[in-house]
Structure 1
Amino acid sequence: MTQDITEVPESSAADEPLPPEFFTEPLEDRYGRYAELREQCPVRAINHPPGAEAYIVSDYQMALEAFGDPRISKSLDNTPKWFRDQLYDNSPVQSRNMLIADGAEHARLRRLVSKSFVPRRMEKIRPRIQEIADDLIDNFPESGTIDLVEFARILPVMVIFEYLRVDLKDREMLYSWSSILGGAPYADEESNRRLKEVSSKFEQYILDLLESRRSDMGEDLVSQLLRAAEEEGRFTIEEVASTMSLLIIAGQRTTTSLICNGTHALLTHPDQLELLKSQPELVISAVEEFLRYESPAYRGTLRVAAQDMEINGVEIGKESFVHLMIGAANRDPKVFEDPDRLDITRQENRHLAFGHGPHFCPGAPLSRLEGHVVFPTLLRRLPGLTLDPEKEPQWVADNSVGRGLTSLPVKYDRRLPRDAGDAGASGCPVAHGSV
C-alpha cells in the first residue's frame, strides 16, 4: 500500500521513507507538512529517485550547513552508477556544467559566467527589462481577465534570449525543450526516451549557435562565454554548450515562478498588496520576501553523500541522495519570526531561495532585477488587480525541483498607459548575494 503523502508519522527516518509522490504530486497543506517534518523528523528518508537511498533535510540550520558541507557532493562522479549512466546517456548536454561539479572543477566552470551576472552589468539592462514588461502589458486587454502565467513565462524568456542574442522565433521551441530537460532524469522509460531526443536537439542547437556567433561577436552573453573560454583556454566547446543550456533553463523557470508566486502572495494578502502599491520603493524587500515565502525552488538541485555520514544522528550512506528542503527551511520559526506571515518589510531575511555557499545561484542578480521591475509595473498599470474568483490557480506538480504556477487567472479594472516615470525604472539598487 502506498503511504499517504500527507502523513508524517513519528518514526525514524530510515524506517518509513516518504513516497516519491511527496515530491511529484500536489501536497495538501504543504507548509503544515513541512512544519511537522521539521519538528518531528528534520532528516527523513524518502523514496526519490524511486529505488534509491535518499533523505530530505527540512531544518534551516541543518540545510544551511549542508549547503557548504564538503561531504555532500554535487558531482556526478559521486552519484550511483545507474543514475550517472542514465544522465550521461539521456541528457549529455546537462552533464558538463558547474551545477554538477565540486571544488576546483566547480570553480573552473563557474568562471565561465562569473562576470556575466554581476549587479553592475545587470543594471545596464534594466531599461530593456522595463521596456519588455511594458510592451507585454500593452498587449493585455483594456480590462477584464488574463492568465498572468503567460506574461510571467514570456518576460524572462525574452530577457535571457536578448542577453544571449538568440532569435525570438525559437522561443516556444526552447521553452518546451527546457521544460522537459528541467525534470531530468525521469523514473519511466518513455519520459527518458523523450528526454534523450530533446537533449540531442537542444545540444545541437546550442553548438550551431556557438559556431555562428564566432563570426559575429558582440556584448551578448554567448559572446561573453566564448571570450571567457578563449581567454582561459581551459574550457571545451561542450562545457560552454552545457553552461548555456543551464542558463536557458534556469533563466526562465526561476523568474517565471518568482513573478507568479509573488503576485499570488500579494493578491492573497490585501494588506501587503496595498502597502506595496502605496510604497513601491519597498519592492527590494518585497522580492526577498516573495523568494522566502514561496520559493521558486522548493528543494535544492542534485546532492549526494560522498561518504558515509550522519546528519542530526541519522546515518546516511555513501551515494545517498540528500534533498535540501528550501521551502521548509525558509519557514523555520527558529530563524524567521512568524514565518507563515507574508511581510514585505521583513528585515534580515536570510532565506535560502538561491542556495548558499559555493553553489549560490550566479543568476540571482538578474532574477531579482526582473522582480524589481515587474512588480511595481504590474501594480501601477493594472489598477484593481485581483485573483479571478471564477477560476482556481494551478500549481506545478512534476519531477522538477520547482515550485510555481501553471495557471494564475487574474482580473483588473483597466490597463493604464506606460509612463517613463514608472517606479520600476527608478534605478533602485540591485539586491544581491555572494555571487
Structure 2
Amino acid sequence: MTSVDDPATAAEQCTPAFRRDPYPVYGLLRETAPVCPIRPRHGIETYLITRYEDARAALSDPRLSKDMYGAMDSYRRIFGDSSVALDDHMLNSDPPKHTRLRKLVSSGFTPRRVEALRPRIQGVVNTLLDEAPTREPVDLLAVFAFPLPIIVICELLGVPEADRAKVQGWSTTVAQTGFSKESKLAQQRAEESLYAYFSEVIGDKRERPGEDLLSALIEARDENGTLTEHEMISTAFLLMFAGHKTTAYLIGNAVHQLLTHPDQLRAVREDPELIGPAVEELLRYDGSVETATFRYATEDLDIAGTRIPRGALVQIALNSANRDPLKFDAPDRFDVTRPGNAQSAHLGFGHGIHYCLGASLARLETQLALTALFERFPKIAPADPAREASWLEVPFPAFRGLTELPVILDPGP
C-alpha cells in the first residue's frame, strides 16, 4: 500500500491494494486521525473510528443510534426505498424496541441450544468434505465455507432444502454494495423476492408449525402480540443474512491465514486444544466484519477530540481496533498462543447491546470446520502458491472476505 498524506483520502482508498491489505492505512489513521471524516460515495457526512478504546465506547454509546428509521433520509439515500421492508429488525433499532426484538430471538441462540447443534453441524461438515474433489484444484469457499453456514441457518430457521439455493442467491445480491443504477435495481428485485418468500414461508408455518425458529417466532407473535408481521419477515432476513455470510467469510479468512502461516497451523495440529483460541485470534487478526453497521449521531458529540455533528453517520472499523497497539501487544503478528485475556478482548463480534447474537454459533461452526478440514487433509495446500489472494472490493468495507479460495485438498505424496 502506498503512503497517503491525507487521512481522509486514505480511508477512501478501497482499491484492490487496500482490500488486499487495509491494515497499513488503518495504522496511519489510528496515529494521525483516529476519528476521521471520510467521503463515501453515498455522499452523506460520515466519520470513521479506528482506535480500540474509541471503538469500544462508540459501540455502546446511546448517542449513536442504530435506528435507521430515525435517519430515514440518509438511510434511503444509501440503501434505497426497497431496503426498508427488510430492515425493520433488531440490528437497526434502539431500546426499547431492540430489547423486545432481541429477547424474542435470543432463545434460539443460547449456548445450550447452540451446543445441541454440534452433532448436526459436524454431520454437515463431514458430508461437504466427503463430496469435495481432493486431487484437483477446488474453490473451498464454493464447496465448503459457504454451504456450511447456509445449511445450518436454513435448518435452524426451517427453510426447506429445495429453496436454499435461491435464498442464498437473493441474499448475495442484497449484500452487493454498488451504487450504479443496475446494481440498485438488482438489489431491489432481490429484496422484493426475499420479502415475498419469507412472507409465504411464515404463512405456511402458521398453518403447519415445526420445531424451528420461525415457528417459534410465529408463536411468540400470535400469543403475545409482540412481533408484527413486518418485524417477523425482517428478522427472518436478518438471521439468514447475518447467519451465513459472516461465518462463511470467517472460515475462508481462517483457512487462508493458517495456510499462509504454517507455523501457526502446525501449532494447532500439534495441540487440538488450541482450536478455540485460534478462532479468537483469527477474529482479532483478520475478522470477516471489517466495520460495524452504520450508526448516526442523535446530537453533537466529541470523540477523541473530534466534533461529530448531529445527523452524521459513524462507522466503526472493528478490524482496525483489533490491530491497535495500545490494546494488543504486537497486534500485526498472528499468534494462536496469544494470552486468552488478549484474545477475548477483540471486537470481532462487536460490543454492547448489539453484540452478535449468533457469536456462539459462528464460533462452533468455524471450530468444527477447521478441525475437520485440517485433520482430514493434512497436506492441504494453495492451488497456486504464487497467486495473490482475491479480496472483496466494495465502495467502503463492511465484510472482509475472499472472493475465492483455490486449494488442493490432497496433493498426494
**Quick one: which of 168, 172, 196 aligns to 1:179?**
172
The residue identity in structure 2 corresponding to 1:79 is A
Q: Is the 8 A contact 1:78 1:305 kept in 2?
A: no
Equivalent-residue separation in structure 2 for 1:197 and 1:257 (angstroms): 24
**AA paired with 1:73?**
S
User: What is the aligned partner in structure 2 of residue 367 from structure 1?
Assistant: 362
Deviates most, 336-345 or 383-392: 383-392
Q: CA RMSD in A?
A: 2.1
C-alpha offsets along residues 135-154 of structure 1, whole Å, 9 cap, x if unaligned? 01111224332111111011
* CA distance in structure 1 between the aligned counterparts of 2:14 and 2:132, rounded to whole angstroms: 37
Which residue in the other structure is 1:249 paired with? 241
Q: Compute the displacement of 1:394 (Å).
A: 1.3
| Cα distance, 1:197 vs structure 2 | 1.5
Displacement, 1:188? 3.0
Counterpart Cα distance in 1 of 2:94 and 2:41: 21
Moved more, 240-249 or 157-166: 157-166
1:165 partner amino acid: G
Q: What is the CA distance between 1:261 and its match in structure 2?
A: 0.5
TM-score (norm 1): 0.88
Q: Classify the secondary structure of the residue corresponding to 1:196.
A: helix
**Is residue 73 of structure 2 the alignment partner of residue 81 of structure 1?**
yes
Aligned match for 1:340, one of 328, 332, 336: 332
Map of 1:115 onto structure 2: 107
Aligned residue pairs total: 406
- 1:398 and 2:398 equivalent? no
Distance 1:412 1:298, change over 3 A: same
Q: CA deviation at 1:164?
A: 1.5
CA distance, structure 2, for counterparts of residue 116 and residue 8 of structure 1:
46
Q: Is the 8 A contact 1:26 1:397 kept in 2?
A: no
Report SS of the residue matched to 1:323.
strand
Q: TM-score under structure 2 normalisation?
A: 0.93
Letter in 1 for 2:370: F
Q: Does 1:208 align with 2:208?
A: no
Residue 383 (structure 1) aligns with: 378
- Once the two structures are superposed, residues 339-378 of structure 1 have per-residue CA deviations (whole angstroms, 9 ceiling, x without a partner) of 1111112211111011100000101111111012111100
CA contact (8 A) 2:381 2:411 kept: no
CA distance in 2 between counterparts of 1:366 and 1:381 reads 22
Deviation at 1:195, TM superposition (A): 1.7
Question: Take 2:197 and 2:20, find their aligned partners in 1: how far apart are those partners?
Answer: 40
- Aligned twin of 1:37: 29
Q: Deviations over 1:142-170 (max 9, x none)?
A: 43321111110111111111112212222
- Gapped runs of 5+ residues in structure 2? none
**2:14, 2:393 within 8 Å by CA — same for their partners in 1?**
no
CA contact (8 A) 2:176 2:183 kept: no
Q: Distance in 1 between matches of 2:409 and 2:312?
A: 49
Q: Which runs of 4+ in 1 moved over 4 A?
A: 16-21, 23-26, 85-88
Tell me the equivalent position of 1:9. Answer: 5
The farther-off stretch of 391-400 and 330-339 is: 391-400
Q: Report how far residue 228 of structure 1 moved.
A: 2.4
Identity across matched positions, percent: 38
Q: Match of 1:314?
A: 306
Report the residue type matching 1:314 in the other structure: T
1:363-410 per-residue CA deviation (whole Å, 9 max, x = no partner) reads 111111101211110011112012222544311112561001111111
**CA displacement at 1:171 relative to structure 2:** 2.2
Q: Is the 8 A contact 2:16 2:391 kept in 1?
A: no
- Which of 347-356 and 213-222 deviates more? 213-222
Partner of 2:346: 351
SS at structure 1 position matched to 2:101: helix
Per-residue CA deviations over 1:260-286 (Å, capped at 9, x if unaligned) read: 001111011111101111111211111
**For 2:63, which of 66, 71, 81 is the aligned residue?**
71
Contact kept, 8 Å, 1:25 with 1:398, in 2: the verdict is no
